[in-house]
C-alpha cells in the first residue's frame, strides 16, 4: 500500500456528492513550497491535490471552506492526460482515509479543529507555549516522582 500525506490549504469549498447511494466529499488542497534557486532568488512551487473522501459522515463538509488548512492522508493516484493543444499533463488525486482540520487563513492557523472521527485536538504549538508562559509552576527537579 502507498500512503500520501499532505498539509495545505483548500482551494475552494468542499462539495458533497451522492454517487450510487454513497456520499463523497470532494475538495482540492494546495501545498506551496518556497525555496531559493541557485542564484538566490526566492521561488514558489504549488502542487494541487484533488481529494475524494468517501464517507457517510459528511458533518465535516461545512468546515472545509476555501483557505482552511488541513492535514489529509490516503491512497494517491496519478493520472496522465493530453490537453486539446496536444500537451501532456498529469493530475494527482487522493482517496482520503483520514482528515484533520488545522485552521484557516482568516484565523491565522491558530484554531483547533476536529478530525473526521470527531475527536478534539490541539493543533497549535503557540497555545501550548502560552499555557507554559502563563506562570505555571515548574517542578524544582527533573524527576516526576
Average confidence (pLDDT) over 56-67: 92
CATH number for domain 4-35+42-133, candidates 3.40.630.20, 2.40.50.140, 3.30.2130.10, 3.90.1150.10: 2.40.50.140
Q: Is pLDDT larger for residue 109 or for residue 17?
A: 17
Alpha carbon distances (Å) from 22 to 14, 17, 18, 56: 16, 8, 6, 7
Cα 106 to chain centroid distance, Å, stands at 15
| pTM strictly above 0.85 | no
**Using CB atoms within 10 A of its CB, is residue 14 exposed (0-12), middle (13-18) or buried (19+)?**
buried
* Res. 1 pLDDT band, cuts 50 70 90: confident
Query: 89: which 3 cell numbers?
Result: 499533463
Q: Residue 102 — very low, low, confident or very high, per pLDDT cuts 50/70/90? A: very high
pLDDT mean over 18-24? 92
Where do the domains of the chain lie? 4-35+42-133
Output 104 or 20, whichever has higher pLDDT: 20
% of the chain exceeding 90 in pLDDT = 63
Task: Say yes or no to pLDDT of 115 above 60.
Answer: no
Judged against a pLDDT cut of 50, whether residue 19 lies above it is answered with: yes
**Which grid cell is 115?**
478530525
Amino acid at each position: 500500500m502507498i500512503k500520501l500525506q499532505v498539509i495545505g490549504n483548500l482551494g475552494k469549498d468542499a462539495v458533497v456528492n451522492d454517487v450510487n447511494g454513497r456520499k463523497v466529499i470532494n475538495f482540492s488542497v494546495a501545498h506551496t513550497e518556497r525555496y531559493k534557486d541557485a542564484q538566490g532568488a526566492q521561488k514558489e512551487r504549488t502542487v494541487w491535490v484533488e481529494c475524494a473522501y468517501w464517507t457517510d459522515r459528511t458533518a465535516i463538509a461545512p468546515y472545509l471552506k476555501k483557505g482552511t488548512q488541513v492535514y489529509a492522508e490516503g491512497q494517491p493516484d496519478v493520472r496522465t492526460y493530453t490537453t486539446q493543444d496536444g500537451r501532456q499533463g498529469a493530475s494527482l488525486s487522493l482517496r482520503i482515509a483520514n482528515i484533520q482540520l488545522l485552521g484557516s487563513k482568516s484565523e491565522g492557523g491558530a484554531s483547533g479543529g476536529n478530525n473526521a472521527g470527531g475527536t478534539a485536538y490541539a493543533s497549535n504549538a503557540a497555545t501550548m507555549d502560552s499555557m507554559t508562559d502563563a506562570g505555571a509552576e515548574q517542578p524544582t527537579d527533573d524527576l516526576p516522582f
